A = this chain, B = another copy of it.
Amino acid sequence: MDSNIFSVVLGKAYRLINHGPTVLVSARHDGVDNVMAAAWACALDYAPPKLTVVLDKSAKTRELVEKSGRFVIQVPTVAQLKLTHELGTHSLASEPDKLKRAGAELFEIDEHDQPFVAGCSAWLACKLIPEPHNQKTYDLFIGEIVGAWSDSRVFKNGHWQFEKTDPALRSLHYIAGGHFYAIGESLSISDSSQVILE
């Protein structure tokens, strides 16, 4: 594991996706690993931390999630723009070498038998909370976050540091048709409710 990666306390795990980044969803079942991009992932609860993610019925990753009951949500970076787009527009079902062709590099984290995507800024290991009605009707999956990690160069002490680090580590926010935005300027409200441009 990269020496910059440290665990994040579960009570602050929601902060890793609170700003609405496009994410990568990875899962493993029966020796098969896959990764897809998803713009529709969202925090759901603080404690125990939970999140939602929409997984289309055509996605091979969805099948791995349903069979294994586990998945990883990770936050890709500006440096991974092309990788993210490729993982979101190609399917393992029709391209068995999808991950290799996209250049996705996987790594392991002890005690979590899941495929983690190298080079991301944050990782959330999730346990599926089965909700068959939501899954069938809305393609909506709920996960409890059971482990969280960040690249400490860009998220540390419970806070994103986008404005203080390499711009290549900023998060991606997808719109449509290959068009993304990077996260931008930091803005804070002080205790006295004054706006601070950081």
Contact = CB atoms under 8 A, between A and B. Distances in A.
13 contacts: A12-B176, A15-B176, A18-B39, A19-B20, A19-B181, A20-B21, A20-B42, A40-B43, A45-B138, A81-B187, A81-B195, A134-B134, A178-B191
Interface in A10-32: 12, 15, 18-22
Given A45-B138, A50-B138, A174-B18, A185 B187 contact: no
Given A159-B179, A174-B18, A189 B82 contact: yes
Contacts of A54: 42-45
Given A180-B188, A184-B170, A187-B182, A19 B195 contact: no
Interface string A166-198: 000010111110111111111111110101000
A162 B39 CA distance: 19
A178 B173 CA distance: 21
A39 B43 contact: yes
Nearest to A84: B189
